[in-house]
Structure formats: C-alpha cells, structure tokens
A and B are shown apart, each in its own frame.
Chain A
Amino acid sequence: MLVYTLKRLGLALLVTLAVSMLSFALLYLSGDPAAAIAGETANADDIEAVRIYYGFDRPWVVQYGEWMFNAIRGDFGTSYYFKLPVSQLVADRLSVTMLLGLCGISFALLTAVPLGVAAAVRPNSIIDRIALFLSVMGQAMPSFWFGLVLIVLFSIKLRLLPPSGSDNWQNFVMPTIVLGYYAMPAIMRLTRAGMLDVLGADYVRTARAKGAGEFRVMFKHALRNAIIPVVSLAAVQMGFMLGGSIVVESIFALHGAGYLAWESIGRNDLPTVQALILVFSMFYIVFTFLSDLLNAWLDPRMRVG
C-alpha cells in the first residue's frame, strides 16, 4: 500500500510540474506580455521599460524558476487589472467555487447513486425508465439553458429564490442543481451498469445462499464492487466542477474563481489566469490522487499483491 501511494504521489508531482510549465508558457503564447501591459498607446521605449521592470528580458528558464519558486510560497505576482496580489484575489474567490463544487458533486452523487442502484435492481421497470429519462435530459440540456429556465421559473415566476449573487445559501440552490445535474447522468449510468454486472456475479449468489438479506446483498456485497469505477469518474467530475463552473458562475453571477478566470481572460490579466490554471489543475491532480487511494481501499486487488 505504501509503495502504491508513493508511486501515485510521484506521478501527481510530475503532472503538477508539467502543468506549471504549460501555464507559465501561456504568458508568451498570447503575444508580447510587455506590449500587453503597456497598453495600446505606448511607444517602443515604454514597452522596453515595462519589459525591464517586469523582468521579461531575462532568459525564460530564470523567469520560470522565479515564478515557480514564488508560486510554491503562494506568491503569484500582482494582478495587472486589480493591482492586488493574485494569491489574495484567488483565495477570496475560491471559497465560493469550492462550496459550489462540493454542493454540486454531493447533489450529483446523492441523486445518481441511489437512482442507479434502483434502476439496476429492477431493470426496465418504471424506476429504470424514469432514471433513463432524467439522465438523457441531463445529458442533452446545456447548463446555461437549464440555468436560465430555473431562473425564469423560481426567481421570476415563483419568486422563491434570488436569481444572482453569492451572499447566502439561497443563492447556491439553483447553481448546485444545475452543476450537479450536469454530472449526474454519467455517474447514474455507470452505477447502473456496474450494479447490473455485479448483481449477476457468483459472489452475490453466494451471499444470498448464506442467508444475507436483500439490503445487505445490495449494499455490502454488490455496491462495494460496483462503485469502484464510479469513484474515479466522480473525482474527475469534481475537478471539472471546481475548475469548470465558469458557465454556471457567470449565469448566476456567483463571484467564484471560475467567474474570475472568465473575467481575467477578457482583461488579459495573465498572472491571475496563470494562477487559476495552476490551481484548477491542482484540483484535478489532488482529486485523482485521492480517488486512486479510495479505489485501492475499496478494491484489495489493487493494494495487496
């Protein structure tokens, strides 16, 4: 188990390094950063002055080393737009995004797993049909449209929930549903397929032959084995939610990190974009690592040779 953990950890660190290089390279991929900062009215001398002031004239290895060294200490430089430390800016916004992501994945798992199990226990029953209908709907509806439909229904017609903002819990209800519903279909279908597969397994029959009740058979013997691929999928979905909730945050004007990323790209605020890319990638890496550990705990074949 220790060797396995260390291997996974090493892999995670290598991916982090690769991502950091890519996000650093972003600075140069979008044109001359000095010209971008100096603005459209600047002449050649101004641009050169900016280049020297920000250190863009030095070799890129030195620049990367400095950037990385600072990033590890939590210093991502100063935002071109806000003139504030990027780390402070990102930290402020991240709490909203993390809360939304956590609510979203919880909503997805809490609806998808029970529905998937119920659908697998009685294939082609009415529950299975409903589950299929819901998952096709979730897959087919773009989240910006679903978000707007919810706003029309709950904010404008029924006046139950606020349409935008991130001040209290009511602001999070609709975004959670939209974000969670987007992840739900894949998790539901994978749970159903896994359960169907496992319920036909010989060891499930053994459990019944031992005199185990249906509930015990379903949850102790079957789900434990069927859930293994779902864990990996949920980890990726979770990473996606934390980094990719840009659409949902924009619709509901939640001031989260996704919204900040969207704004910063528009403003050419590169240090902020770099930091956000690194943070979002870190989420993916951390969740994948955690799901690997969780899978190893669930499936002894992965940890005991």
Chain B
Amino acid sequence: MENILSVRGLTVDIPLAAGTLHAVRGIDFDVKRGETLCVVGESGSGKSLTSLAIMGLLPKQAQRSAQVLDFEGVDLQTASKRDMRKLRGNRISMIFQEPMTSLNPAYTIGDQLMEALLLHRKVSKPVACDRAIELLEKVGITAAANRMKQYPHQLSGGLRQRVMIAMALMGEPDLIIADEPTTALDVTIQAQILRLLKDLQRELNMAMILITHDLGVVARVADKVAIMYAGEMVESGSTAEVFTAPKHPYTRGLLNCIPVPGKTAAGEHLGSIPGIVPSLIGDVVGCAFRSRCDEATAQCSSDIPARVSSAGHLYRCVHDYDGPASPSMNQPKSGEA
C-alpha cells in the first residue's frame, strides 16, 4: 500500500539566547492508509514538535527543514499558506492533549464542529449540522442535538475530548494526528477514548499518528512504533518486532518500566532509567543516550548510523543485542524459585 505521509530527515531548530536548540534531529518515518503509528518518548523528546511540523503549526521562531515531507504527493515544505490551510482540518486533522482548553469558550459545540466543515466544503448550515450530530453520536455522545447548543464549560473533560475527535473527523481526513489525546483524562476515560479512536480509524480507513509516552497504549493500538529520544528516532519498526526484539537500550529500558500482568510480582521494583535527558542546545555528537546507557563504549561518541535488523525495523545503536525484550521478564521471581 502506498504511503500517505513520508518524512525523511525532518529537523526542527529553535534559536534561543543560549544557542540553537536542536529539538528534532533528522527523523524518518512513513504512514500508510489504515495504519497506526505510535510515536513514543518522554517529555521534551520532540514528539509534539514533530506533529506540529507536519501540520505547519510550529511556533514562529522554530525552523523546520526536511529532505522529504510529502503528504499524498503534496510537498508540505513548498506548499503555500493557503494550500496548507486547505489541508488542515480537512485532509490532516489533529487532536490535542488538553481537551479542557482546546475548545473556544465563547462558541457552542455545534458552532465549532460545523466550522470545521464549513471552512472546507461548500455545504449549507443544516447539512453541516446534520453531519456534526451524526459524528457526535458516532463518538458516543448521547442527546447529540442538545449538546450542539451547549458551551464547552458545560461538558466534562472526557466529553470535550470526544467533541475534539468528532471535530477532527468532520472533514473526513486521510490522516489524523493525536497528540497525547488521553493524558489529561481519568484512567477509566482514557481506555474508552483510545478504543474509540482505534475503532474510528479502522472504520474510516484513516492513517493515524498517535503520540504517547505510554507503552501500554502502544501495545494495544499500534501497527508500527517509533521510539524517540532527545529529538531522534532511536528505534522504529512493527510493534511486534520492537516489543519482542528491541535493539536499542533505551527501548529496552522503557519496556522494563512497565509491569507485566502475571509476571511482575507484587512489591517488585519496576525498572527505571537513571540520569536525565541531555541538553539539546548546541551540536549533539554521537549517541544522545550514552550517558545513561550501561552498554556505552568509546564507539558511542562517534556518529551513529541507522541500522536495519529486519525489514522495516531500524535502530540507532552500534551494539548488537539479541537478548530478551525485557530482562526482568525472564528472571526467576524470588517467590517462584
């Protein structure tokens, strides 16, 4: 199947008084129709900037460059402001992290939903209204016609995020980017929203980029996963590959942090990665993870090429590792011995 979005060598630089912040440092990925790519990484790893770079919504001072930034044959780097505006909300939609503040408090839910369609299609208001109600019902909101007349402050966080999802779907997009859509929500609501997103993505055969720092989420919904660390994609591949045969020590560290039902004993310490993310101001040479890595050697200070382990499974580490996904998973538990 053909790629909807192709990204090669995407960088985002932010000039600061202390020097240039290399927030995203040359990342590559593709997304196909009907596919879900999960981008995983901790705060400040460049996940959100990556999504804003695709949308063309980076802060003014940020500088974007890429070798390839192609959306269905449209080069997003050379597209005019007008063309980008036509894509946004129409063929590429975005769902944000903060449902509480992402809706305009001055307008009704209905106004804001309809606007998403009226901006791009020559349809009448009643048609847009019907479409909005239909989508509100689709995202599981009851009494949708009444909700249309309500204001954001009258809705709970979970409902607002459902409204945001419905809004993103108004223009029947080919690609939907969800930037930590469940982070601000209650745990019980998180699962509902994720299931909803996944179901809708399948039903409408959209491509989805889901940004998260929760590997549990990835395991449930992703076809492909990309692990970001310090502005770089340190490992990417099919979810099954990356989870069962992780090649990068950072990926293994992350996997080690999740409790596994039935394997992790009560009271057992979960893994953690020592140290902090390095500063990305100024030139970054070599592997950014080496200061936190147990396996670091002198080689890690030189340029790290992308290596291929199997078809579509890429990683940036000079060391070979063929061990288990998570060391703790195979160690005998003290109680079992």
Query: Using a CB–CB distance below 8 Å, which chain A residues touch chain B?
Result: 201-203, 205-213, 221, 224-225, 298-301, 304
Smallest CB-CB separation from A210: which chain B residue?
B89
Closest 6 CB pairs of A and B: A211-B89, A210-B89, A211-B88, A202-B101, A203-B104, A300-B151
Question: Which of B92-100, B192-200, B289-297 participates in binding chain A?
Answer: B92-100
> Would A300 and B102 count as touching, CB distance under 8 A?
no
> Would B55 and A209 count as touching, CB distance under 8 A?
yes
> Would B90 and A203 count as touching, CB distance under 8 A?
no
Partner of B86, one of A209, A211, A224: A211
> Would A210 and B98 count as touching, CB distance under 8 A?
no
CA distance A205 to B104 in the complex (A): 10
B120 at the binding interface (Cβ < 8 Å):
yes
> Would A203 and B153 count as touching, CB distance under 8 A?
no
B307 at the binding interface (Cβ < 8 Å):
no
> Would A211 and B120 count as touching, CB distance under 8 A?
yes
CA distance A301 to B153 in the complex (A): 7
CA distance A212 to B88 in the complex (A): 8
- Residue pairs across A and B with Cβ atoms less than 8 A apart, 20 shown, are A202-B98, A202-B101, A203-B104, A206-B96, A206-B104, A209-B55, A209-B57, A209-B89, A210-B116, A211-B86, A211-B88, A211-B90, A212-B119, A225-B106, A299-B105, A299-B106, A300-B153, A301-B151, A304-B150, A304-B154
B181 to chain A, nearest CB (A): 13
> Would B85 and A207 count as touching, CB distance under 8 A?
no
Interface residues of B in 153-205 (CB under 8 A from A): 153-154, 164, 167, 171
> Would B88 and A210 count as touching, CB distance under 8 A?
yes
CA distance A301 to B154 in the complex (A): 9
Name the residue among B104, B119, B150 with the largest chain A CB count within 10 angstroms. Answer: B104
- The size of the chain B interface, using a CB distance under 8 A, is 30
A230 to chain B, nearest CB (A): 14
Q: Which residues from chain B contact A208 at a C-beta distance below 8 Å? A: 57, 88
A303 to chain B, nearest CB (A): 9
Smallest CB-CB separation from B88: which chain A residue?
A211
CA distance A213 to B83 in the complex (A): 11
CA distance A298 to B87 in the complex (A): 31
B125 to chain A, nearest CB (A): 16
Q: Which residues from chain A contact B154 at a C-beta distance below 8 Å? A: 304
A-B contact sample (5 more), CB < 8 A, given A205-B102, A210-B119: A205-B96, A209-B94, A211-B86, A211-B87, A301-B151
Q: Which residues from chain B contact A212 at a C-beta distance below 8 Å? A: 85, 89, 115, 119
Interface residues of B in 15-58 (CB under 8 A from A): 55, 57
Q: Assuming the A-B contacts A209-B94, A211-B89, A211-B90, are A221 and B151 also in contact, with contact meaning beta carbons closer than 8 angstroms in the complex?
A: no
> Would B104 and A209 count as touching, CB distance under 8 A?
no
> Would A203 and B105 count as touching, CB distance under 8 A?
yes
B257 at the binding interface (Cβ < 8 Å):
no
Q: Which residues from chain B contact A298 at a C-beta distance below 8 Å? A: 106
> Would A210 and B106 count as touching, CB distance under 8 A?
no
> Would B102 and A202 count as touching, CB distance under 8 A?
yes
Smallest CB-CB separation from B90: which chain A residue?
A211
Q: Which residues from chain B contact A299 at a C-beta distance below 8 Å? A: 105-106
> Would B119 and A211 count as touching, CB distance under 8 A?
yes
B145 at the binding interface (Cβ < 8 Å):
no
Q: Assuming the A-B contacts A202-B98, A300-B151, are A209 and B93 also in contact, with contact meaning beta carbons closer than 8 angstroms in the complex?
A: yes
B103 at the binding interface (Cβ < 8 Å):
yes
Q: Which residues from chain B contact A205 at a C-beta distance below 8 Å? A: 57, 96, 102
> Would B85 and A203 count as touching, CB distance under 8 A?
no
Q: Which residues from chain A contact B98 at a C-beta distance below 8 Å? A: 202
B59 to chain A, nearest CB (A): 10
CA distance A301 to B151 in the complex (A): 8
Name the residue among A206, A207, A208 with the largest chain B CB count within 10 angstroms. Answer: A206
Q: Which residues from chain B contact A209 at a C-beta distance below 8 Å? A: 55, 57, 88-89, 93-94, 96
